Amino acid sequence: MEREIAWKSYTKKTLGEVMSLAERYKDYLSAGKTERECVCEAVKLAEKNGYCCIYKAIEEGRPLNAGDRFYLNYMGKCIVLFIIGKQPFEKGMNIIGAHIDSPRLDIKQNPVYESDGLVYMDTHYYGGIKSFQWVALPLALHGVVVKKDGSTVTVNVGENDSDPVFCISDILPHLGQDQAKRSAADVIDGEALDIIVGHQPLKGEEKEAAIANVLKLITEKYGFEEEDLLSAELEVVPAGKARDLGFDRSMILGYGHDDRVCAYAQLEAMFSIKGTPEKTVCCILTDKEEIGSVGATGMRARYFENAIAELMHLNGEDGDLKLRRCLGNSSMLSCDVSAGFDPAYAGAFEKKNAAFLGKGVCFNKFTGSRGKGGSNDANAEFMARCRKIMDEGKVKFQTAELGKVNQGGGGTIAYICALYGMNVIDSGVAVLSMHAPWEVISKADLYESYKAYKEFALKA
């Protein structure tokens, strides 16, 4: 059961669409390097495409109309888009959901220290990373500092050509013999992932003069003090834009394809839907997936369910039973990336059941590890429906598992939404070097995923 390479089927016109979608995606990815930035960009796009803030409708108690478009921006870290359908909510919705947090290094609450003339900021990594991949490359600092008066300072340093960048040093090979003996997991200690942020001493200062200089510059430029870092969320990410990869420009090298590639494909799918769908369509971009979907903005929180309850109330569909029916009758694509088959590491995969770059959107019936542990194992009946929708919509798709049996594994948000009793299946883009500072995807898979999400949103 070989699946065809999507590229082979493209006409000149389709190729043009593939490439222009990739351009828009690269812009989104380069602008959205944190969950907050991804939400900001999504809000801009949503408003441009006729979506209104849901809180306004709730405040006014405005009755819903079929065809209405809303977005819910939750704490600036996750966003849900809705297109109200012709049928009542109780009949269920068609949901596409992805996550917009990506592995990175978070600045600690009390981060600044000086050591032998170099000033550092201490970090605590977020999500699953190989720490040795994060040394000796240019890093940028993105995030917010919230002051006691409630005002927010937005930080974005390292992306403009004129900006400084930061880095974590590594030992030179000449002196790296002890390091070379360590196992890959221990090459760089997690506590050693501290970024260098300065070294020029402030004139007239005796003790920690370089720190004094860095803090003075920060106060002058951004207007916050060291103490304000107690209430900050600063994320260290690879500096630089997403780029075309390969002479043929068929791929994209970028930070955070996991899972912003699916998130962006979902947004494009939403904006391409014209008129009024049968069922209400819902696009979730959630936070905290990389650390277990925890916290108020993770998929395990109730923000999504609460939003549905609010909308159903505005639609005259009150009551817990109706809400439960709505969720239970819904169908969902959990849109998350899959491990792309990598010829350089072929031994980690089982080739018949691996996702290949360029073979289209990848369905993972299950994820998990060690005997599907922790996975949402989608129903055969639902997979059959998805196959039908994909084939009728002429979407190139493939199916895969995450690597060989007992090789490892992973999870997504699928099992959380399945708790409501809805049908959920994972589907997304194959990625090389997943969770590395720079990940690789095929533009064809981005395009096929966009098509898949649109077909599902309208026809599930």
Which residues of this chain interact with Mn ion, rule CB under 5 A? 258-259, 336
Instruction: Rank residues 259 and 342 by Cβ distance to Mn ion and give the closer one.
Output: 259
Cβ 67 to Mn ion shortest distance, Å:
32
Q: Would you give the DSSP letter of residue 175? A: G
Which tokens hold the place of 356? 């290949």
Cβ 43 to Mn ion shortest distance, Å:
22
Give percent helix, percent strand, percent coil of the chain, each to the nearest 5.
Answer: 35, 25, 40
Distance CA 434, CA 31 (A): 20
Instruction: Rank residues 212 and 339 by Cβ distance to Mn ion and give the closer one.
Output: 339
Cβ 435 to Mn ion shortest distance, Å:
6
Cβ 359 to Mn ion shortest distance, Å:
19
Instruction: Rank residues 69 and 260 by Cβ distance to Mn ion and give the closer one.
Output: 260
Q: Is 203 exposed, middle or buried (0-12, 13-18, 19+ CB in 10 A)?
A: exposed
Q: Residues near 299 by Cβ (< 8 Å), separated by ≥ 6?
A: 97, 99, 284, 286, 288, 289, 293, 413, 416, 417
Cβ 433 to Mn ion shortest distance, Å:
12
Q: Which residues is 364 bridged to in the sheet? A: 426
Tell me the residue type at 210: A
Nearest to Mn ion by Cβ — which residue? 259
Which phi and psi angles does 33 have, rounded to 5°? -105, -5
Cβ 22 to Mn ion shortest distance, Å:
20
Cβ 128 to Mn ion shortest distance, Å:
7
Instruction: Rank residues 194 and 259 by Cβ distance to Mn ion and give the closer one.
Output: 259
Instruction: Rank residues 235 and 336 by Cβ distance to Mn ion and give the closer one.
Output: 336
Among residues 426, 6, 34, 12, the alpha carbon closest in space to that of 256 is found at 34
Among residues 154, 164, 171, the alpha carbon closest in space to that of 217 is found at 164
Cβ 413 to Mn ion shortest distance, Å:
9
Distance CA 7, CA 448 (A): 10
Cβ 262 to Mn ion shortest distance, Å:
8
Instruction: Rank residues 17 and 377 by Cβ distance to Mn ion and give the closer one.
Output: 377
Distance CA 402, CA 399 (A): 10
Distance CA 289, CA 331 (A): 20
Cβ 428 to Mn ion shortest distance, Å:
8
Cβ 431 to Mn ion shortest distance, Å:
9
Distance CA 21, CA 445 (A): 11
Instruction: Rank residues 234 and 261 by Cβ distance to Mn ion and give the closer one.
Output: 261
Q: In this structure, are residues 43 and 54 in contact, taking their beta carbons and an 8 Å threshold?
A: no
Cβ 259 to Mn ion shortest distance, Å:
4
Instruction: Rank residues 336 and 448 by Cβ distance to Mn ion and give the closer one.
Output: 336
Cβ density class 211-240: b for 16+ within 10 Å, e for less:
bbbbbeebeeeeebeeebbeebbbbbbbbb
Instruction: Rank residues 336 and 455 by Cβ distance to Mn ion and give the closer one.
Output: 336
Distance CA 255, CA 262 (A): 14
Instruction: Rank residues 259 and 401 by Cβ distance to Mn ion and give the closer one.
Output: 259
Instruction: Rank residues 28 and 120 by Cβ distance to Mn ion and give the closer one.
Output: 28
Residue 72 CA: distances (Å) to CA of 34, 270, 424: 18, 14, 22
Question: Quick check: helix, strand or coil at residue 200?
Answer: coil
Helices 303-314 and 320-328, axial angle in degrees (round to 10): 120
Instruction: Rank residues 259 and 445 by Cβ distance to Mn ion and give the closer one.
Output: 259
